Structure 1
Protein backbone atom coordinates (compact mmCIF):
# COMPACT_ATOMS: atom_id res chain seq x y z
CA UNK A 1 0.00 0.00 0.00
CA UNK A 2 1.33 3.42 -0.95
CA UNK A 3 1.84 6.05 1.71
CA UNK A 4 -0.80 8.76 1.66
CA UNK A 5 1.77 11.44 0.75
CA UNK A 6 2.64 9.52 -2.45
CA UNK A 7 -1.02 9.36 -3.40
CA UNK A 8 -1.36 13.03 -2.53
CA UNK A 9 1.63 13.88 -4.72
CA UNK A 10 0.07 12.13 -7.70
CA UNK A 11 -3.22 13.91 -7.10
CA UNK A 12 -1.41 17.24 -6.80
CA UNK A 13 0.45 16.68 -10.08
CA UNK A 14 -2.83 15.79 -11.78
CA UNK A 15 -4.37 19.00 -10.48
CA UNK A 16 -1.31 21.03 -11.51
CA UNK A 17 -1.62 19.60 -15.02
CA UNK A 18 -5.14 21.07 -14.98
CA UNK A 19 -3.62 24.46 -14.00
CA UNK A 20 -4.59 24.37 -10.32
CA UNK A 21 -2.34 26.95 -8.64
CA UNK A 22 -3.38 25.79 -5.16
CA UNK A 23 -2.06 22.31 -5.93
CA UNK A 24 1.24 23.81 -7.07
CA UNK A 25 1.43 25.78 -3.84
CA UNK A 26 0.83 22.63 -1.78
CA UNK A 27 3.49 20.69 -3.69
CA UNK A 28 5.88 23.62 -3.25
CA UNK A 29 5.24 23.71 0.50
CA UNK A 30 5.92 19.98 0.70
CA UNK A 31 9.18 19.87 -1.28
CA UNK A 32 10.74 23.34 -1.61
CA UNK A 33 12.90 23.07 1.50
CA UNK A 34 14.19 19.61 0.59
CA UNK A 35 15.06 20.75 -2.94
CA UNK A 36 16.64 23.90 -1.53
CA UNK A 37 18.85 21.75 0.70
CA UNK A 38 19.90 19.57 -2.24
CA UNK A 39 20.62 22.64 -4.35
CA UNK A 40 22.58 24.38 -1.61
CA UNK A 41 24.75 21.32 -1.09
CA UNK A 42 25.93 21.56 -4.69
CA UNK A 43 25.65 25.27 -5.44
CA UNK A 44 26.81 26.72 -2.09
CA UNK A 45 24.79 29.86 -2.74
CA UNK A 46 21.48 30.81 -1.17
CA UNK A 47 20.51 32.89 -4.20
CA UNK A 48 21.38 30.18 -6.73
CA UNK A 49 19.62 27.55 -4.60
CA UNK A 50 16.47 29.65 -4.38
CA UNK A 51 16.57 30.15 -8.15
CA UNK A 52 16.97 26.39 -8.66
CA UNK A 53 13.87 25.76 -6.52
CA UNK A 54 11.90 28.30 -8.54
CA UNK A 55 13.13 26.71 -11.79
CA UNK A 56 11.96 23.29 -10.61
CA UNK A 57 8.46 24.42 -9.76
CA UNK A 58 8.17 26.51 -12.92
CA UNK A 59 9.04 23.36 -14.84
CA UNK A 60 6.52 21.32 -12.82
CA UNK A 61 3.88 23.90 -13.78
CA UNK A 62 4.81 23.59 -17.47
CA UNK A 63 5.13 19.79 -17.73
CA UNK A 64 3.04 18.25 -14.93
CA UNK A 65 0.95 16.40 -17.52
CA UNK A 66 4.07 14.43 -18.54
CA UNK A 67 4.30 12.70 -15.16
CA UNK A 68 3.43 9.02 -15.58
CA UNK A 69 2.61 7.13 -12.38
CA UNK A 70 3.52 3.87 -14.15
CA UNK A 71 7.13 5.03 -14.61
CA UNK A 72 7.87 5.90 -11.00
CA UNK A 73 6.95 7.71 -7.85
CA UNK A 74 6.01 11.38 -7.99
CA UNK A 75 8.74 12.43 -5.57
CA UNK A 76 11.37 10.59 -7.64
CA UNK A 77 10.17 12.44 -10.74
CA UNK A 78 10.34 15.73 -8.86
CA UNK A 79 13.86 15.02 -7.56
CA UNK A 80 14.98 14.11 -11.08
CA UNK A 81 13.74 17.50 -12.27
CA UNK A 82 15.52 19.14 -9.34
CA UNK A 83 18.80 17.38 -10.13
CA UNK A 84 18.59 18.53 -13.74
CA UNK A 85 17.94 22.15 -12.77
CA UNK A 86 20.77 22.07 -10.21
CA UNK A 87 23.16 20.64 -12.80
CA UNK A 88 22.07 23.35 -15.26
CA UNK A 89 22.92 26.01 -12.68
CA UNK A 90 26.27 24.38 -11.89
CA UNK A 91 27.18 24.35 -15.56
CA UNK A 92 26.09 27.97 -15.93
CA UNK A 93 28.24 28.93 -12.94
CA UNK A 94 31.23 27.07 -14.39
CA UNK A 95 30.79 28.80 -17.75
CA UNK A 96 30.69 32.21 -16.12
CA UNK A 97 33.93 31.41 -14.26
CA UNK A 98 32.20 31.70 -10.92
CA UNK A 99 34.16 30.67 -7.87
CA UNK A 100 31.44 28.43 -6.50
CA UNK A 101 32.89 25.90 -4.11
CA UNK A 102 31.49 22.43 -4.45
CA UNK A 103 32.14 19.63 -2.01
CA UNK A 104 30.79 16.30 -0.78
CA UNK A 105 30.66 17.21 2.90
CA UNK A 106 27.15 17.19 4.31
CA UNK A 107 25.89 20.70 4.87
CA UNK A 108 23.64 21.37 7.80
CA UNK A 109 21.49 24.11 6.30
CA UNK A 110 18.43 25.73 7.70
CA UNK A 111 16.49 27.15 4.76
CA UNK A 112 14.76 30.44 5.37
CA UNK A 113 11.32 29.73 6.76
CA UNK A 114 8.96 31.44 9.13
CA UNK A 115 7.81 28.12 10.52
CA UNK A 116 10.15 25.16 10.82
CA UNK A 117 8.61 21.71 10.98
CA UNK A 118 10.96 19.93 13.39
CA UNK A 119 9.67 16.46 12.45
CA UNK A 120 10.31 17.13 8.76
CA UNK A 121 13.78 18.50 9.53
CA UNK A 122 14.59 15.40 11.59
CA UNK A 123 13.32 13.17 8.79
CA UNK A 124 15.47 14.99 6.22
CA UNK A 125 18.56 14.70 8.43
CA UNK A 126 17.89 10.99 8.96
CA UNK A 127 17.47 10.39 5.20
CA UNK A 128 20.62 12.36 4.43
CA UNK A 129 22.53 10.39 7.05
CA UNK A 130 21.34 7.04 5.68
CA UNK A 131 22.28 8.01 2.12
CA UNK A 132 25.72 9.22 3.23
CA UNK A 133 26.33 6.00 5.20
CA UNK A 134 25.22 3.90 2.21
CA UNK A 135 27.51 5.93 -0.05
CA UNK A 136 30.47 5.11 2.21
CA UNK A 137 29.81 1.36 1.76
CA UNK A 138 30.49 1.58 -1.98
CA UNK A 139 33.86 0.72 -3.44
CA UNK A 140 36.02 3.84 -3.75
CA UNK A 141 35.89 3.80 -7.57
CA UNK A 142 32.08 3.75 -7.68
CA UNK A 143 31.74 6.33 -4.92
CA UNK A 144 34.08 8.71 -6.76
CA UNK A 145 32.13 8.71 -10.02
CA UNK A 146 28.81 9.12 -8.18
CA UNK A 147 30.19 12.05 -6.17
CA UNK A 148 31.49 13.71 -9.31
CA UNK A 149 28.14 13.23 -11.04
CA UNK A 150 25.78 14.17 -8.22
CA UNK A 151 27.75 16.66 -6.16
CA UNK A 152 29.87 18.38 -8.78
CA UNK A 153 27.40 18.08 -11.65
CA UNK A 154 29.81 16.50 -14.12
CA UNK A 155 28.45 14.59 -17.09
CA UNK A 156 29.69 11.07 -17.74
CA UNK A 157 31.99 12.39 -20.47
CA UNK A 158 33.37 15.05 -18.13
CA UNK A 159 33.97 12.41 -15.46
CA UNK A 160 35.86 10.29 -17.99
CA UNK A 161 38.04 13.27 -18.93
CA UNK A 162 38.54 14.29 -15.29
CA UNK A 163 39.52 10.82 -14.10
CA UNK A 164 41.23 9.50 -17.25
CA UNK A 165 38.84 6.53 -17.33
CA UNK A 166 37.14 5.18 -20.43
CA UNK A 167 33.56 6.44 -20.85
CA UNK A 168 32.24 2.86 -20.73
CA UNK A 169 34.03 2.32 -17.41
CA UNK A 170 32.47 5.49 -15.99
CA UNK A 171 29.00 4.40 -17.12
CA UNK A 172 29.47 0.93 -15.64
CA UNK A 173 30.71 2.29 -12.30
CA UNK A 174 27.79 4.71 -12.06
CA UNK A 175 25.29 1.97 -12.88
CA UNK A 176 26.82 -0.47 -10.40
CA UNK A 177 27.14 2.22 -7.72
CA UNK A 178 23.50 3.26 -8.07
CA UNK A 179 22.42 -0.37 -7.99
CA UNK A 180 24.41 -0.99 -4.79
CA UNK A 181 23.03 2.21 -3.23
CA UNK A 182 19.51 1.08 -4.05
CA UNK A 183 20.17 -2.29 -2.42
CA UNK A 184 21.82 -0.69 0.62
CA UNK A 185 18.87 1.61 1.11
CA UNK A 186 16.36 -1.16 0.54
CA UNK A 187 12.92 -0.22 -0.70
CA UNK A 188 13.29 3.30 0.61
CA UNK A 189 12.16 6.46 -1.09
CA UNK A 190 15.68 7.79 -1.59
CA UNK A 191 16.30 6.48 -5.10
Structure 2
Protein backbone atom coordinates (compact mmCIF):
# COMPACT_ATOMS: atom_id res chain seq x y z
CA UNK A 1 0.00 0.00 0.00
CA UNK A 2 1.66 3.21 -1.17
CA UNK A 3 1.42 6.52 0.61
CA UNK A 4 0.74 9.82 -1.01
CA UNK A 5 3.05 12.81 -0.63
CA UNK A 6 0.40 14.45 1.50
CA UNK A 7 0.35 11.48 3.90
CA UNK A 8 4.16 11.39 4.06
CA UNK A 9 4.25 15.11 4.87
CA UNK A 10 1.61 14.66 7.57
CA UNK A 11 3.59 11.74 9.06
CA UNK A 12 6.83 13.78 9.03
CA UNK A 13 5.07 16.72 10.70
CA UNK A 14 3.57 14.41 13.36
CA UNK A 15 6.98 12.83 13.98
CA UNK A 16 8.62 16.24 14.25
CA UNK A 17 5.86 17.43 16.62
CA UNK A 18 6.29 14.29 18.75
CA UNK A 19 10.07 14.82 18.90
CA UNK A 20 9.56 18.50 19.82
CA UNK A 21 7.07 17.54 22.54
CA UNK A 22 9.56 15.01 23.98
CA UNK A 23 12.29 17.68 23.98
CA UNK A 24 9.91 20.16 25.63
CA UNK A 25 9.17 17.59 28.35
CA UNK A 26 12.93 17.18 28.94
CA UNK A 27 13.29 20.97 29.08
CA UNK A 28 10.47 21.20 31.68
CA UNK A 29 12.09 18.48 33.81
CA UNK A 30 15.52 20.11 33.54
CA UNK A 31 14.10 23.50 34.52
CA UNK A 32 12.30 21.97 37.50
CA UNK A 33 15.55 20.32 38.67
CA UNK A 34 17.49 23.53 38.21
CA UNK A 35 14.90 25.55 40.14
CA UNK A 36 14.93 23.06 43.00
CA UNK A 37 18.73 23.19 43.20
CA UNK A 38 18.72 27.00 42.77
CA UNK A 39 21.11 26.70 39.83
CA UNK A 40 21.42 29.72 37.50
CA UNK A 41 19.13 29.30 34.50
CA UNK A 42 20.84 29.99 31.17
CA UNK A 43 20.19 28.62 27.69
CA UNK A 44 23.50 26.73 27.71
CA UNK A 45 22.81 25.18 31.13
CA UNK A 46 19.27 24.14 30.13
CA UNK A 47 20.56 22.65 26.87
CA UNK A 48 23.09 20.54 28.79
CA UNK A 49 20.58 19.44 31.43
CA UNK A 50 17.77 18.60 28.96
CA UNK A 51 20.11 17.12 26.33
CA UNK A 52 18.75 19.36 23.55
CA UNK A 53 20.44 21.78 21.20
CA UNK A 54 20.63 25.49 21.83
CA UNK A 55 19.14 26.04 18.41
CA UNK A 56 15.97 24.22 19.49
CA UNK A 57 15.76 26.41 22.58
CA UNK A 58 16.21 29.59 20.55
CA UNK A 59 13.81 28.59 17.74
CA UNK A 60 11.00 26.89 19.69
CA UNK A 61 8.67 29.55 21.10
CA UNK A 62 7.35 27.28 23.88
CA UNK A 63 10.91 26.45 25.00
CA UNK A 64 11.79 30.16 24.98
CA UNK A 65 8.70 30.93 27.09
CA UNK A 66 9.51 28.13 29.57
CA UNK A 67 13.08 29.40 29.99
CA UNK A 68 11.93 33.02 30.38
CA UNK A 69 9.35 32.08 33.04
CA UNK A 70 11.81 29.88 34.93
CA UNK A 71 14.49 32.57 34.72
CA UNK A 72 12.06 35.12 36.16
CA UNK A 73 11.11 32.77 39.00
CA UNK A 74 14.76 31.92 39.63
CA UNK A 75 15.70 35.61 39.71
CA UNK A 76 12.91 36.26 42.21
CA UNK A 77 14.09 33.35 44.36
CA UNK A 78 17.68 34.58 44.24
CA UNK A 79 16.50 38.07 45.14
CA UNK A 80 14.50 36.62 48.04
CA UNK A 81 17.55 34.62 49.16
CA UNK A 82 19.64 37.79 49.04
CA UNK A 83 17.01 39.67 51.06
CA UNK A 84 16.85 36.84 53.60
CA UNK A 85 20.64 36.79 53.91
CA UNK A 86 20.69 40.58 54.31
CA UNK A 87 17.95 40.34 56.94
CA UNK A 88 19.91 37.68 58.86
CA UNK A 89 23.07 39.79 58.66
CA UNK A 90 21.20 42.89 59.79
CA UNK A 91 19.63 40.96 62.67
CA UNK A 92 23.07 39.68 63.67
CA UNK A 93 24.53 43.19 63.64
CA UNK A 94 21.51 44.55 65.50
CA UNK A 95 21.93 41.89 68.17
CA UNK A 96 25.64 42.66 68.46
CA UNK A 97 24.89 46.37 68.72
CA UNK A 98 22.32 45.74 71.47
CA UNK A 99 24.78 43.50 73.32
CA UNK A 100 27.47 46.17 73.01
CA UNK A 101 25.05 48.81 74.26
CA UNK A 102 24.15 46.65 77.28
CA UNK A 103 27.85 46.06 77.96
CA UNK A 104 28.53 49.80 77.74
CA UNK A 105 25.70 50.56 80.18
CA UNK A 106 27.06 47.97 82.61
CA UNK A 107 30.61 49.35 82.28
CA UNK A 108 29.41 52.93 82.83
CA UNK A 109 27.49 51.80 85.91
CA UNK A 110 30.61 50.11 87.28
CA UNK A 111 32.71 53.21 86.56
CA UNK A 112 30.15 55.36 88.41
CA UNK A 113 30.21 52.96 91.36
CA UNK A 114 34.03 52.96 91.45
CA UNK A 115 34.15 56.76 91.28
CA UNK A 116 31.70 57.01 94.17
CA UNK A 117 33.78 54.54 96.19
CA UNK A 118 37.02 56.41 95.41
CA UNK A 119 35.38 59.70 96.45
CA UNK A 120 34.19 58.13 99.69
CA UNK A 121 37.67 56.73 100.46
CA UNK A 122 39.35 60.07 99.67
CA UNK A 123 36.91 61.74 102.04
CA UNK A 124 37.85 59.28 104.79
CA UNK A 125 41.55 59.94 104.18
CA UNK A 126 41.02 63.69 104.46
CA UNK A 127 38.98 63.17 107.62
CA UNK A 128 41.72 60.99 109.14
CA UNK A 129 44.39 63.52 108.14
CA UNK A 130 42.59 66.20 110.11
CA UNK A 131 42.90 64.16 113.31
CA UNK A 132 46.66 63.67 112.92
CA UNK A 133 49.05 66.04 114.70
CA UNK A 134 51.23 68.24 112.53
CA UNK A 135 54.41 66.25 113.12
CA UNK A 136 52.67 62.86 112.55
CA UNK A 137 53.89 62.51 108.96
CA UNK A 138 57.48 63.21 110.00
CA UNK A 139 57.17 60.76 112.89
CA UNK A 140 55.76 58.03 110.60
CA UNK A 141 58.57 58.58 108.08
CA UNK A 142 61.18 58.37 110.86
CA UNK A 143 59.64 55.14 112.18
CA UNK A 144 59.55 53.77 108.65
CA UNK A 145 63.26 54.53 108.18
CA UNK A 146 64.06 52.91 111.53
CA UNK A 147 62.08 49.81 110.62
CA UNK A 148 63.89 49.56 107.28
CA UNK A 149 67.26 49.70 109.07
CA UNK A 150 66.12 47.02 111.50
CA UNK A 151 65.03 44.85 108.57
CA UNK A 152 68.45 45.28 106.94
CA UNK A 153 70.21 44.43 110.20
CA UNK A 154 68.02 41.35 110.79
CA UNK A 155 68.56 40.22 107.20
CA UNK A 156 72.31 40.53 107.65
CA UNK A 157 72.18 38.61 110.94
CA UNK A 158 70.07 35.91 109.34
CA UNK A 159 72.61 35.49 106.52
CA UNK A 160 75.40 35.27 109.06
CA UNK A 161 73.51 32.64 111.07
CA UNK A 162 72.72 30.67 107.90
CA UNK A 163 76.43 30.67 107.00
CA UNK A 164 77.36 29.50 110.52
CA UNK A 165 74.68 26.80 110.38
CA UNK A 166 75.99 25.62 107.02
CA UNK A 167 79.54 25.45 108.43
CA UNK A 168 78.34 23.56 111.51
CA UNK A 169 76.53 21.03 109.32
CA UNK A 170 79.66 20.49 107.22
CA UNK A 171 81.73 20.01 110.41
CA UNK A 172 79.14 17.57 111.73
CA UNK A 173 79.27 15.55 108.49
CA UNK A 174 83.08 15.50 108.63
CA UNK A 175 83.06 14.38 112.29
CA UNK A 176 80.49 11.66 111.57
CA UNK A 177 82.65 10.39 108.74
CA UNK A 178 85.79 10.50 110.93
CA UNK A 179 84.00 8.67 113.76
CA UNK A 180 82.91 5.95 111.34
CA UNK A 181 86.49 5.56 110.08
CA UNK A 182 87.82 5.32 113.66
CA UNK A 183 85.17 2.75 114.57
CA UNK A 184 86.17 0.67 111.55
CA UNK A 185 89.86 0.86 112.57
CA UNK A 186 89.01 -0.07 116.14
CA UNK A 187 86.96 -3.04 115.01
CA UNK A 188 89.82 -4.18 112.79
CA UNK A 189 92.32 -3.88 115.68
CA UNK A 190 90.04 -5.80 117.99
CA UNK A 191 89.64 -8.52 115.38
CA UNK A 192 93.42 -8.79 114.94
CA UNK A 193 94.08 -8.86 118.69
CA UNK A 194 91.42 -11.51 119.16
CA UNK A 195 93.10 -13.62 116.47
CA UNK A 196 96.48 -13.29 118.26
CA UNK A 197 95.06 -14.26 121.67
CA UNK A 198 93.68 -17.51 120.35
CA UNK A 199 95.60 -20.67 121.67
What TM-score, normalized by structure 1, do the two folds share? 0.22
Q: Determine which structure has greater relative contact order: mean sequence separation of CA pairs < 8 Å that are 6+ residues apart, divided by chain length.
A: 1
Bigger radius of gyration among the two: 2
